[in-house]
Amino acid sequence: PERAVAAMARQAPANLEELNAVIASTPPFVAGGTCAVLGEGPLNPRLALVGEQPGDQEDEAGRPFVGPAGQLLMKALGEAGLTREAVYLTNAVKHFKFVQRGKRRLHQKPTAGEVKHYRWWLEKELDFVRPRLVVALGGTAALALTGKALAVTRERGPHRLGAHDGYVTFHPSYLLRLPDEAARREAYAALVADLATAKALAA
């Protein structure tokens, strides 16, 4: 892994396109992942949203946030006065990590070590994209950006995230997993409020 990181650093991509070519042609650091799901969105956006990793549908489509979590995120973005096109969307880990169970591909949480292997790409990517504010969706994104674990429920809000002004909020998948309807509504309202605050902070 250290050698892989050094090899990537030597490739020294000069822009986002070159970086994406490197990412797309490097085999996954996690088990699974048929293709790298690259970030998408405008350069110099107000906000860059960083998720955990592509899911089953993102892996199929080769695009971030198009599955159930993505649809919930788009709804929340809309309620916060934002659009998919206005923000840059990417993930801490660029491949879908899964185990096959019959026909189903079950999402596996990336380990801290795996997240670390992808950090160099994420940092480079954000250097090229130059958002005003980086929004970490969930703990994995925060870990990728800071190198430290963070309890999202207790530490939501503005944070310095590595080299970036940032904001930490829930991951939409976390909302989908909450068993209780009232808790889900509350967490969704918090996500919308956080996105609106992040938008204002980046204005």
Q: 14 vs 90, which CB is nearer to ligand URA?
A: 90
Do residues 115 and 162 make contact, with C-beta atoms less than 8 angstroms apart? no
The 8-class DSSP code of residue 148 comes to: S
The 8-class DSSP code of residue 106 comes to: E
Would you state the structure tokens that stand for residue 183, as one six-digit string? 């808790």
Q: 49 vs 80, which CB is nearer to ligand URA?
A: 49
Smallest distance from ligand URA to CB 70, Å: 5
Question: Does position 58 bind ligand URA by CB under 6 A?
Answer: yes
Q: Which of residues 162-201 bind ligand URA (CB under 6 A)?
A: 173
Place of tokens 């938008």: 199
Q: Which positions from 105 to 134 touch ligand URA by CB under 6 A, shown as an x/- string?
A: ------------------------------
Do residues 43 and 128 make contact, with C-beta atoms less than 8 angstroms apart? yes
Interface with ligand URA (CB under 6 A), residue from 39, 51, 139, 166: 51
Q: 52 vs 194, which CB is nearer to ligand URA?
A: 52
Do residues 37 and 24 make contact, with C-beta atoms less than 8 angstroms apart? no
Q: 41 vs 51, which CB is nearer to ligand URA?
A: 51
Task: Tell me the C-alpha distance between 165 and 146, whole Å.
Answer: 11
Sign of CA dihedral 125, 95, 119, 47: positive
Instruction: Return residues touching ligand URA (CB under 6 A).
Output: 51-55, 58, 64-65, 67, 69-70, 91, 173
